[in-house]
A and B are shown apart, each in its own frame.
Chain A
Amino acid sequence: NAGVTQTPKFRILKIGQSMTLQCTQDMNHNYMYWYRQDPGMGLKLIYYSVGAGITDKGEVPNGYNVSRSTTEDFPLRLELAAPSQTSVYFCASSYSNRLARTYEQYFGPGTRLTVT
């Protein structure tokens, strides 16, 4: 049981390049999330998904896109990288169940992205 895995661990992009950050979970969680973490700013929600085929914007979605074709995978796409997207990106998942009252989010190890 690997939990939430993210690839790559590190990446350097040039301005204007594109890339996809991969996220996979093996816990059969219905909810998945992408956050970015900037120093001293906590975590900000970029996009989230409540199930395969359903995604929605979070607090800071501009410059990013997501898709959720399977329960396990939730890739984050950067189309035209900008220096403002230099950050650490975390993927998380949870099983949202009103009866079980779980609500805990499980986080991946993160991807450190630098755009120069």
Chain B
Amino acid sequence: AQSVTQLDSQVPVFEEAPVELRCNYSSSVSVYLFWYVQYPNQGLQLLLKYLSGSTLVKGINGFEAEFNKSQTSFHLRKPSVHISDTAEYFCAVSADYGGSQGNLIFGKGTKLSVKP
């Protein structure tokens, strides 16, 4: 079985500062990794995904994440945040069954609050 731990439930940061949202996972098989963003009163939207290949993946809105297999981590970063990045961010993992995907397991979320 897979599990996901998001290490911070809330992250306050000032506008134009860098931010890192941390995510660790556990799995006995290879995994696919995802970051989703949820703006207030909306559904979830995919930010980026790691399926295979380069461990540094770039997503929408200037976000990027690095897959670290030895650390079982998939931390999300942005070098300079904007007020509009205020949202809740979810890390998710699914098992790689030889190219087929298992169900998504979500972390509990990290609320990013960007202050002026």
Contact of A43 among B32, B42, B90 (CB under 8 A): B90
- Report the separation of the CA atoms of residues A4 and B42 in the bound assembly, to the nearest whole angstrom: 12
Count how many pairs of residues, one from A and one from B, have CB atoms less than 8 Å apart in the complex: 52
Name B's interface SS: strand
Chain A interface, DSSP helix/strand/loop, else mixed: loop
Alpha-carbon gap, A25 to B45, bound state (A): 15
Question: Which of A44, A90, A104 has a CB less than 8 Å from the CB of B49?
Answer: A104
For this complex, 9 residue pairs linking A to B, each with C-beta atoms less than 8 Å apart, are: A33-B104, A42-B106, A90-B43, A96-B101, A98-B100, A107-B44, A107-B45, A108-B43, A109-B42
Question: Which residues in A have some Cβ–Cβ distance to B below 8 Å?
Answer: 4, 33, 40-45, 48, 58, 90, 92, 96, 98, 101, 103-105, 107-110
Q: Interface residues, chain B, CB within 8 Å of chain A?
A: 4, 9, 32, 34, 36, 41-46, 49, 51, 90, 94, 99-101, 103-104, 106-109
